[in-house]
Amino acid sequence: MYSRIVIDNIGKRFGERLLFSNVCAEATSGQCLAVTGCNGSGKSTLLKIIAGLVRPSTGQVRLIFDDMPSPKEQIFYTGFVSPEVAMYAALTGIENIIFWTKVRGVPCSKSEAAKFCCEMGLGKGGYDLVATYSTGMRQRLKLAVIKAINPPVWLLDEPSSNLDGSGRSIVKELIDNAVRQNIAVILATNESEEALYGKNTIEL
């Protein structure tokens, strides 16, 4: 599927405080757009605006897909990995994947969910309750969920947070594969090395 995200003159203000203004960029299928900037510059806020979770103060974000979903359906075309997204602690990793894929209407068997856990380096941890997970394991599970849902637009907010070296390599491979599969990836990061995954970069 072809997708195009147009960030058109976006600005955001919280009360008196202007966070950013006149941000313009585009991300299309098969490309990664990196969003960089210091702590508090508004990277997460911009991703939330693109996800439709926060209203911009000025400008608009247009999501364009070749099969023209209704505005209500468009939310199902994006996946969001963020420190603010939580997995269900009372479910196992595999059960979380089955839950989230069901919410999105994507078929996913237990064995497929177990495979996604393994690919993200959770191993047999996929059968354990998320309540018992370390922060890095929770992050790996969020990556397994977006891989299972596989939407045409991926919004990745600090995808390597709390990950060790092997986890960071998994994130790189995940983004490379997503781009190869024609997914549009928007990546917010503080890591200069990770920012290089972006074909284009917005600095806030």
In the complex, which residues of this chain contact ligand ATP (CB under 6 A)? Answer: 14, 19, 37, 39-45, 190
Closest to ligand ATP by CB, 37 or 93? 37
Phi/psi for 70 (5° steps) reads -70, 160
Residue 35 CB, shortest distance to ligand ATP, in Å, is 8
Determine how β-strand 153-157 pairs with β-strand 78-81.
parallel
Residue 85 CB, shortest distance to ligand ATP, in Å, is 14
CA-to-CA dists, residue 146 to 8, 142, 143, 203, angstroms: 26, 7, 5, 25
Nearest residue to 182 (alpha-carbon basis) of 155, 150, 160: 150
Closest to ligand ATP by CB, 39 or 111? 39
Question: How far is C-alpha 158 from the chain's CA centre?
Answer: 9
Residue 188 CB, shortest distance to ligand ATP, in Å, is 6
Residue 57 CB, shortest distance to ligand ATP, in Å, is 12
Rounded CA Rg of the chain: 17
Closest to ligand ATP by CB, 37 or 125? 37
- Residue 203 CB coordination number (10 Å): 12
Closest to ligand ATP by CB, 46 or 122? 46
CA-to-CA dists, residue 37 to 46, 64, 65, 110, 118, angstroms: 11, 26, 29, 39, 33
Residue 142 CB, shortest distance to ligand ATP, in Å, is 16
Closest to ligand ATP by CB, 41 or 201? 41
